[in-house]
Amino acid sequence: MKLFTKGLLLIAIPSVVELALLGVVFDTQERTAQAARWVDNSKQILYQSSAIVDPLLRQAARVRTAMVTGDASLIDRHAVWVELNDRLAKLDALVAETPAQAERVHSMRRAIDAYREQSVAISRALHEGRSLRSYISLETGELPEQIAVFREELAQFDAAASVLDVERSSALGERRELQQRALIAAAFGSMLIWAVTAFVFARGIGQRLEVLTDNAERLGSGRPLAAPLSGSDEIAALDAVLHQTDARLREAEAGQQALKTELESRARELAAVNEELRQETQDNEMFIYSVSHDLRSPLVNLQGFSRELHVSCDELDGLVGQARLPDNEARRMTQILDGDVRESLHYLRTAVARAAAIIDALLRISRAGRLEYQWQRVSVGRAVARVVDGLQGTIDQRAASVTVRELPPAWGDPAAVEQIFSNLIGNALTFLDPTRSGRIEVGALAPEPVDDSEPRAVRMRTYYVRDNGLGIPAAYLSKVFRAFQRLHADVASGDGIGLAVVRRTVERHGGRVWVESAEGAGSTFFVVLPEQPVRF
């Protein structure tokens, strides 16, 4: 049986019984309310019947007084009869469902109507001054015959109403007792039904859910699961899924362990390769340094030799001028000395100067990777201020303005940090747009949040150097930090090594550098440096 069917039965059966009990309770409650309404009806009848006689007796007294005094104004002609009619109408409505009592009310109305006619006749006789001998019995204090009939009917009416009130009150008491018993039975039956339902739920579903919960906890903690549950409901199906998941997790753990072992092996291999690469990089840097250093001596000799050749050519040119050679030979010697020899010397000296520049650039790159840094907290603001002071002549010459914002300190080598900003600011000055006023801004971005839960988390600061110069085409953005890459060669000379040195220096500080630029709008170089010591 499916879990939905079980739950539906557990809810439907008690609900049906509850509805039946509620039906019994509502029926007894309705019967009790009806009995209470009948009792209230009897009380109203008795109240109205007791109140109807007083106005009539007061009217009889006023008529008798009027007859004795001869004053017809004492007889109430209207108000008392309105009151009596109202009370009789209410009484008639209250006993409408009791024919015998309704007939008595009609008899009392006829008696009152007859007495009203007599009162009107007496009042008219008093006004007209006629004799009242026919009504002499009223002066002796005897009640009129109509009132006597009225009181007799009223007495029978009250007796019947009292008996009916007693019966109805007794019936109300019985109904209330029955209602109380029904409520107690309904409450007890409801408690019993839900107790049985809870027992069935705990026995049939609750225990199975406990086993399922325990298996889920075991699955979460990696412990073996209990035996699978029997049955074909959703709980058994979910328990089967948990067992399948447990089997798959164990297979995955075995596979993960194998992958972990392989990953550790690969990590060791990668560490060995990195160490080999580091050693090769160091060897390459040493080789570049050695070769560059060794090539400087021959280049110096070549520079000196070319200068000596230049001086010798000048002397030889003077000797040719002093010698008395034939004109043809003199012109030939002058053409050789001033043309081929001097041009060859110019090419030689240009090539030597170019080779010297390349060697110096290689030496700078090599030094950037080999220098021992003096790690300390660096005031970046002071470093930038020194760079701006050193470039003030170039700034004035280019008619540029340099704005330095507040710069937070960084962790690094003071000379290296100063060299980074010197290259970036110098590069910005070099490639300013000559058609507009140059503006260079140096500042820092707001610090990024750091996840303190990371054991190796380091707070970093991002600095920027922004200019409104020529900008960099999008196709060359990925090449600007490579060595010997030169853009806008027609604007300024250089060896294309400055930004490569910046990148190498920043990476040795554990940071990074990148550029955002739009051709014709300017460039912004971003440098990320640590704010606190970094573990390499």
Task: Say which residue the tokens 């409104």 belong to.
Answer: 468
Mean pLDDT of the region 365-386: 81
Kindly list the distances between the CA atom of residue 503 and the CA atoms of 412, 416, 443, 515, in Å, as whole numbers in the listed order.
Answer: 14, 11, 19, 11
What is the three-class DSSP state of 473? coil
Domain boundaries, the chain: 27-189, 255-344, 373-530
User: Using CA atoms, how far apart are residues 368 and 363, in angstroms rounded to an integer?
Assistant: 9
User: Using CA atoms, how far apart are residues 352 and 295, in angstroms rounded to an integer?
Assistant: 11
Q: What is the pTM of this model?
A: 0.43
Mean pLDDT of the region 124-150: 69
Residue 254: band (very low, low, confident or very high) from pLDDT cuts 50, 70, 90 = confident
The answer to which of 359-368, 427-436, 464-473, 503-512 has the lowest mean pLDDT is: 359-368
Cβ-based neighbours of 67, under 8 Å, separated by 6 or more:
122, 126, 132, 135, 138, 139
Are 522 and 469 a contacting pair, CB within 8 Å? Answer: yes
Question: Shortest CA distance to 238 belongs to which of 501, 35, 3, 442?
Answer: 3
- Count of Cβ atoms closer than 10 Å to residue 40 Cβ: 12
Q: What are phi and psi for residue 514, nearest 5 degrees?
A: -150, 170
Q: Which helix (H) or strand (E) holds 402?
A: strand 401-404
Residue 421: band (very low, low, confident or very high) from pLDDT cuts 50, 70, 90 = very high
Provide DSSP, 297-342.
Answer: HHHHHHHHHHHHHHHHHHHHHHHHHHS---HHHHHHHHHIIIIIIH
Q: Which residues pair with 441 in a beta bridge?
A: 403, 466
- Pairing outcome for strands 401-404 and 439-444: parallel
Residue 335: band (very low, low, confident or very high) from pLDDT cuts 50, 70, 90 = low
- Note the pLDDT tens digit of each residue in 485-501: 666 555 555 566 788 88
Are 76 and 65 a contacting pair, CB within 8 Å? Answer: no
Per-residue DSSP letter, 404: E
* pLDDT for 60: 77
Mean pLDDT of the region 498-524: 90
pLDDT at 376 over 70: yes
User: Using CA atoms, how far apart are residues 139 and 161, in angstroms rounded to an integer?
Assistant: 34
Cβ-based neighbours of 310, under 8 Å, separated by 6 or more:
342, 345, 349
pLDDT at 410 over 70: yes
User: Using CA atoms, how far apart are residues 415 and 374, in angstroms rounded to an integer?
Assistant: 9
- Note the pLDDT tens digit of each residue in 225-245: 777 777 766 677 777 787 878
Are 511 and 378 a contacting pair, CB within 8 Å? Answer: no
Cβ-based neighbours of 82, under 8 Å, separated by 6 or more:
none
Q: What kind of fold does domain 27-189 have according to CATH? A: Four Helix Bundle (Hemerythrin (Met), subunit A) (1.20.120)
Task: Say which residue the tokens 């109203």 belong to.
Answer: 44
Provide DSSP, 217-262.
Answer: HHHHHTPPP-PPPPSSSHHHHHHHHHHHHHHHHHHHHHHHHHHHHH
C-alpha torsion sign, points 414, 416, 419, 425: negative
Would you say domain 373-530 falls under CATH 3.30.565.10?
yes
In the numeric block, which tokens belong to residue 157? Answer: 């009416």
Task: Say which residue the tokens 């009181």 belong to.
Answer: 151
Q: Which amino acid is at 431?
A: F
More confidently predicted of 216 and 359 = 216
Please state, rounded to an integer, the average pLDDT across all residues of the chain.
Answer: 78
